[in-house]
Amino acid sequence: AQTVTQSQPEMSVQEAETVTLSCTYDTSESDYYLFWYKQPPSRQMILVIRQEAYKQQNATENRFSVNFQKAAKSFSLKISDSQLGDAAMYFCAYSLLSQGGSEKLVFGKGTKLTVNP
């Protein structure tokens, strides 16, 4: 079964600095998708960034970028120029497009990010 591990239950960063959140996953598949979701105190799940496993280029979205290491099964999220609004729970997620068109999204347990002014 696929699993997603986030080894950092909590992280903190100073405003305007850079922080990296770690994520590793376990799969025997070669084609899959990886996501980072942000959950602020409002509890809304917000997509931050996604990566297709067949793409070698790391995804970027403004201040958010990933370091995707397929062989190491690692998918870390880098947040540059951290802002107070970045404070939230961050979830790493894996999805496999299985036979029949179904898809199962597997989540890690999350990393709570605190941004200090």
Partner 1 sequence: NAGVTQTPKFQVLKTGQSMTLQCAQDMNHEYMSWYRQDPGMGLRLIHYSVGAGITDQGEVPNGYNVSRSTTEDFPLRLLSAAPSQTSVYFCASKDTWETQYFGPGTRLLVL
Contacting residues toward partner 1, per CB under 8 A = 4, 33, 35, 37, 42-45, 47, 50, 91, 95, 97, 100-110
Whether 6 and 113 have beta carbons less than 8 Å apart is answered as no
Question: In the bound complex, what is the minimum distance in angstroms from residue 65's beta carbon to partner 1?
Answer: 18
3-state secondary structure (DSSP) of residue 76:
strand
| CA gap 111, 92 in Å, rounded | 9
Residues in the chain: 117
- Which of 3, 18 has the CB closer to partner 1? 3
Question: In the bound complex, what is the minimum distance in angstroms from residue 14's beta carbon to partner 1?
Answer: 27
- Which of 50, 78 has the CB closer to partner 1? 50
Question: In the bound complex, what is the minimum distance in angstroms from residue 16's beta carbon to partner 1?
Answer: 29
Short-list 50, 28, 48, 56, CA closest to 111:
48
